[in-house]
Structure 1
Amino acid sequence: MTANRGRSQSGSRVLAAAGAALLLAGCGDVSPGAAATIDGEAISVDEVDEYARAVCAAETTGAELAQQPHTPTSTSTQRESVLTILINAELAELAVDEFDLQVPPSAAATPDSAATAQLFEAMAAEDAGTAASYQEYDATLRRLVAVAIAIGAEQTGGQKSEQVLASAGGAWLASYAEDHDVQVDPRFGDFTSGRVVGGSGSLSVASGGESGGGSEANLADLPASQICR
């Protein structure tokens, strides 16, 4: 990896912050059933929907376990977030292969904590399939953050916190995307500066009658089926 491209977890808190930093190019025709393609590799609408439902379940279950209120979110916003992670995860693996990055499996391992185990167990008791989907998505996110940290270390010299390194790696990946053919179904939005933003509207064909847009300002106007509570 060239350090001069010029484009520029030690726990769940770091992972969440790093993941948010990665949610910081292009839009065009995609294959039928695909939410996005990266150099021709498709991310299916079904995969995005499956993970978005799993994330919603994890958020609501986590809030219940913590005895905290859960802030409602539109499911279209969750789809945008999930698709952002999946696109960046694919780009991260391309970078790993291209630049022979060394990312030890332990760097992306799910922490062996009571809270994590309790969440997975509670989700599995409710719906084993959804719990399995969430664990897959969680592993994808952790792998992405681990790769971003490795990239950030290459870019900065490594003498930074993991959160700073992940942010630097995320910025690099956003630039790296410009060298690749990233196409997003416009109903999900555009992939800009490393994230999917602002769907054009009707996701009804791809996602069972759900409108897009993702605006939390209109949350009160959405039917219950389009809100993660």
Structure 2
Amino acid sequence: MSKTRLAVLGLAALLMAGCGPVNPGAAAVVDGTRIPMSDVEDVADVYCTASLSGQSGSAAGIDSAALRRQSVADLVSGEVADQVAKDRGYDVTVPSLGSAEQAQLEQMFGDELPAALDLIERNQRTGVIAQEMAREADASIPEGEQLLQAGQQLLARATAEADISVDPRFGLDETIQQIAETGSLSVFGGELDATATEDRPAALQCS
């Protein structure tokens, strides 16, 4: 099982308070499909637990805003991939986890295990669809990492062509690339860029 990919991003001044969400209650909308803010929080909680596990339980240096930003990006990519699979009639099969992997995840996530399993399955599904896109585009691409990279490039292109709107407080553009450094979606301030992550308010840290 691939290790969970976590983006390590900096935290600076937040967007102006007047820049509210485009679709209230939605973190993003992909071709008319809403991604609820609650889904982003669920994914961010899983990434937070995985990050804490990697740092022996210390939240120092882990930025919850960065985790939320990564969560939005992953969910948007997953939704685009699902729509591609539906449009092209892909038969998507996600490989099952082994018993040892299940036990390791249960030990790591505890009560969050269902959310963690959902996230892993969703990310695996996105990867499978990306590889299928690459196979369809060029049957000569070897299986493995090269096929996955080619598929990710095609998925990024499909994302750029999709009709996407993202809550501007995440600091992501319609292709889910970072265009601004942001922080908490509920806390506004202008001096956070000069503050070490571990010294920031608890709401801005992974915990």
| TM, length-normalised to structure 2 | 0.76
Is 1:118 matched up with 2:118?
no
Q: Where in structure 2 are the equivalents of 1:95-110 lying within 5 Å?
A: 95-103=84-92, 105=93, 108-110=94-96
RMSD (Å) for aligned C-alpha atoms: 3.3
Is 1:12 matched up with 2:5?
no
Contact preservation (8 Å) 2:171, 2:179 = yes
Deviation at 1:197, TM superposition (A): 5.1
Greater displacement, 29-38 / 149-158: 149-158
CA deviations on 1:144-187 (whole Å, 9 max, x unpaired) are 11111111222332532422222211211221123321000100
Match for 1:163: what amino acid? Answer: E
Deviation at 1:41, TM superposition (A): 0.8
Contact preservation (8 Å) 1:152, 1:158 = no
Query: Which residue, 45, 69, 76 being the options, matches 1:87?
Result: 76
Partner of 1:4: none
Partner of 2:44: 52
Is 1:173 matched up with 2:155?
yes
Is 1:139 matched up with 2:121?
yes
Q: Structure 2 stretches of 5 or more lacking a match?
A: 8-19
Q: Structure 1 stretches of 5 or more lacking a match?
A: 1-10, 21-27
Structure number having the greater strand percentage:
1
Percent of residue pairs bearing the same amino acid type: 26
CA deviations on 1:8-50 (whole Å, 9 max, x unpaired) are xxx325x75xx98xxxxxxx96321101000111111111012
Query: Which residue, 188, 201, 205 being the options, matches 1:223?
Result: 201
Q: 1:186 to 1:75 in 2, by over 3 A?
A: same
| TM, length-normalised to structure 1 | 0.70
